[in-house]
Chain A
């Protein structure tokens, strides 16, 4: 119950305790627990009241001792002293000791206590608002600092993300594996009005097709063999928040129609259930596939495609981001330094050159791994080219990711086989069906190229 305000009354006069409880409970948002002794109060402090009203003359127990004990437990719990007499010096003394206020038992008590609660509630609301603003600022900071890039394609992405924050429009994110699709989805959610709600991510490619319906929409007990208990689905879990459907292109056709119905009707029916219920969920989808091609090939429903398209955000491959590679490299090194309390590391100029020449088939995710390994491998404060180790097999798998000269492609092919066959030239010559001398000539050209002496 978010708006409730918990008040502890400590009063040994049954008559007055009842009266005070009545006054405070006139507002149904106020919850009251009444105690007769200070001992009972201290015993229940773990429930963390929002306010304590403390009778000044509580039998043998002294009000100032109780104030000290409460303040030792939690200095932020406000204590109001309720006294049968107006004694200015006592009031001042108790206020100095940490009492929030001092009120006299008379016919005005009700108004006084109500005003105090009103002010305290305003304080609580202000504190909550402040915390929320802090969180939002933190998220905003995350958004701009964890997604680094000065390149034009990334600036376009940031602009689109800003636009996505203002409405509940469905966002479709495309991009190669490792380009940061989930980070964009989180960036949008945590900076949007839905940030207080949950962010629920589901990877369609990671869940067996026979389980995905139950995963997305939940199931009733006994819906199928093994469904021993009722389970809520990801859409229900994401209610009032955002559901992120990653690899949406991998969803099979049968489920595509069910997803379409959920998106159209904004209602979910659990597997094995016959009742539907409303949901309020923002949908962000992502895929590394070209969905238009999937639609043309009949593997993706056209109506769902248009329903999901919403605001399309295309994440560029890292090798299309120019000098972002260097900015990101430095960013990942700094993050790694902070996490591991390392001294400051810098990239040698040749290391920068090496990075810029690489195609990064694994995109930002690969760059991060490479830079973390480089930070570990470096001996001094400088990351040398030898510390930068690329994965040997990936370049071939993504050979066509960037446009290069035929000569550069040749270098990549030779480099790939050198690593694959442990520099066994004879074996490489056999595989490529070329002479050994051709390979040696290419190796010479590669060395010249690396040294900047290659004339082509």
Chain B
């Protein structure tokens, strides 16, 4: 995650696209929190079994969600995973990138959960 970004800036694209529709943003974060751990787990499992096409497809799906959130660094990381996995080689770089993705997404989800407890509207 980009250092120094203000809290809600992590969701800048989503907030802009929805013109700050608080209810809808909360609903979307709920879906993200619900579905993303499974997506990360599947990505790791696919890597473990060296099913690189599934790694690529899983990264591809995550990429769209991250893009709409507006975190460009995370988006770039997923794009690299998607492209790298297409080579069909379990490189150290790929392993490290997926580990990093796992860490970043978990951190993002934790933040989202806390943020959802805060009644302050997304702006």
Contact = CB atoms under 8 A, between A and B. Distances in A.
A57 B24 contact: no
Nearest to B65: A15
A269 B9 CA distance: 63
B17 A84 contact: no
A440 interface: no
A107 B67 CA distance: 7
A15 B24 CA distance: 12
Contacts, number: 44
B123 interface: no
A15 B67 contact: no
17 contacts: A13-B64, A14-B31, A14-B35, A15-B31, A15-B64, A15-B68, A16-B64, A16-B65, A18-B27, A19-B17, A19-B68, A84-B61, A84-B63, A85-B60, A107-B17, A107-B68, A107-B70
B74 to A, nearest CB: 14
A105 B64 contact: yes
A106 B35 CA distance: 19
Query: Considering the complex of A and B, which 3 residue pairs feature the smallest CB-CB distances, nearest first?
Result: A105-B64, A15-B65, A84-B60
Interface in B1-44: 13, 17-18, 21, 24, 27-28, 31-32, 35
A110 B17 contact: yes
Contacts of B32: 15
A80 to B, nearest CB: 15
Given A105-B67, A107-B68, A18 B28 contact: yes
A272 B28 CA distance: 56
A105 B60 CA distance: 10
Contacts of A338: none
A19 B18 CA distance: 9
Contacts of A69: none
Contact of A16 (B21, B24, B68, B70): B68
Interface of B: 13, 17-18, 21, 24, 27-28, 31-32, 35, 57, 60-61, 63-65, 67-68, 70
A22 interface: yes
A23 interface: yes
Contacts of A22: 18, 21, 24
Contacts of A107: 13, 17, 67-68, 70
A313 B42 CA distance: 82
A18 B31 CA distance: 9
A84 B18 CA distance: 20
A13 B68 CA distance: 13
Nearest to B17: A110
Contacts of B70: 107
Contacts of A85: 60
Nearest to B82: A85
A57 B28 contact: no
A232 B60 CA distance: 60
A57 B65 contact: no
Interface in A1-53: 13-16, 18-19, 22-23
Contacts of A13: 61, 64-65
Contacts of A18: 27-28, 31
Contacts of B63: 84, 105
A167 to B, nearest CB: 48
A57 B58 CA distance: 11
Contacts of B21: 22
Interface string A99-136: 00000011100100000000000000000000000000
Contacts of B27: 18
B97 to A, nearest CB: 18
Contacts of B13: 107
Nearest to B24: A22
Among B21, B32, B65, find the residue whose CB has the most chain A CB atoms closer than 10 A.
Answer: B65
B80 to A, nearest CB: 13
